[in-house]
Amino acid sequence: GQNIDQPTEMTATEGAIVQINCTYQTSGFNGLFWYQQHAGEAPTFLSYNVLDGLEEKGRFSSFLSRSKGYSYLLLKELQMKDSASYLCAVYSGAGSYQLTFGKGTKLSVIP
Amino acid sequence: GAGVSQSPSNKVTEKGKDVELRCDPISGHTALYWYRQSLGQGLEFLIYFQGNSAPDKSGLPSDRFSAERTGGSVSTLTIQRTQQEDSAVYLCASSLAPGGGRGTGELFFGEGSRLTVL
């Protein structure tokens, strides 16, 4: 089966840096996505990793270690609007086209 | 339109009634997905379409759930004899191509259809 684990909730201060971890156990691997979902809205794409290493995009970076089944999303210079749920999702490949999502990490940014 | 469109945005129905939820994907996207999101839960995969065929329908919870896609575009998710546990937000997403892939595998989601079964 597929299993994706993320912390349920996190709190961080405006202007700070926060790291949201994701660990996965899947039957295969063909890429990992991070999505942002504000309350009551649709998830929106943030990042994609398929090779080991760090992908940087503005204030957001995402890291992947395939051997450890581990990823993290790094958010810098936090803003109040970054308060949202962050969803880790994995394509297991091997003939399956399901994108399996974790339950998400609810991030609250406080002044 | 430019994005994934879903209707209705909200649906309240009585237990035992049938409901239809519609999804209009981004033009040119061959892959279409249905997910369900219950309160406090993650996104639960229901079914995946490539063109008009559904190679993976393993997430449909029961035979009360069915989906079809016509013309490689619009999809309809039908829930028969609705139960209270069917209450959730049903999200549709599309992508250029199935599976992973930078620039092609990202899913674009609609705003969802919130279903409440009384």
Q: Closest chain A residue to B108 measured between Cα atoms? A: A44
- Per-residue pLDDT, A1: 65
**B26-45 pLDDT tens trace:** 998 989 999 999 987 889 99
Min mean pLDDT across B16-25, B54-63, B74-83 is at B54-63
Mean pLDDT confidence for B8-36? 96
Distant-in-sequence, close-in-space partners of A94: CB < 8 Å, separation ≥ 6: A27, A28, A30
- Per-residue pLDDT, B55: 87
Q: What is the DSSP string of chain A?
A: --EEE--SEEEEETT--EEEEEEEE-S--S-EEEEEE-TTS--EEEEEE-SSEEEEETTEEEEEETTTTEEEEEE-S--GGG-EEEEEEEE--TT---EEE---EEEEEE-
Mean pLDDT confidence for B99-117? 83
Least CB–CB distance from A96: residue in B56, B91, B108: B56
The overall average pLDDT reported for chain B is 91
Looking at this protein, which amino acid is placed at residue B69?
Answer: R
State whether residue B106 sits within 8 Å of chain A by CB: yes
State whether residue B102 sits within 8 Å of chain A by CB: yes
Q: How far is CA A75 from the centre of its chain?
A: 10
Give the residue from B45, B46, B50, B111 with the most A CB atoms within 10 Å of its CB, the best one to mutate: B45
Give the residue from A32, A50, A97 with the most B CB atoms within 10 Å of its CB, the best one to mutate: A97
**B41-73 pLDDT tens trace:** 889 999 999 999 998 898 999 999 999 999 889
Q: Closest chain A residue to B102 measured between Cα atoms? A: A48
- Per-residue pLDDT, B101: 62
State whether residue A17 sits within 8 Å of chain B by CB: no
- B-chain residues within 8 Å CB-CB of A96? 56
Closest CA to B32 of B71, B75, B79, B88: B75
State whether residue B50 sits within 8 Å of chain A by CB: yes
Q: What are the CA-CA distances from residue A101 to residues A43, B16, B19 (Å)?
A: 11, 30, 26
- Measure in Å the smallest separation between the Cα of B72 and chain A Cα atoms: 17
Query: pLDDT in tens for each of the 111 residues of chain A?
Result: 679 999 999 999 999 999 999 999 988 888 899 999 999 899 999 999 989 999 998 999 999 999 999 999 999 999 999 999 999 999 876 666 778 899 999 999 999
**A21-38 pLDDT tens trace:** 999 998 888 889 999 999
- Measure in Å the smallest separation between the Cα of A40 and chain B Cα atoms: 8
3-state secondary structure of B15: coil
Q: What are the CA-CA distances from residue A69 to residues A61, A78, B44, B72 (Å)?
A: 17, 26, 21, 35
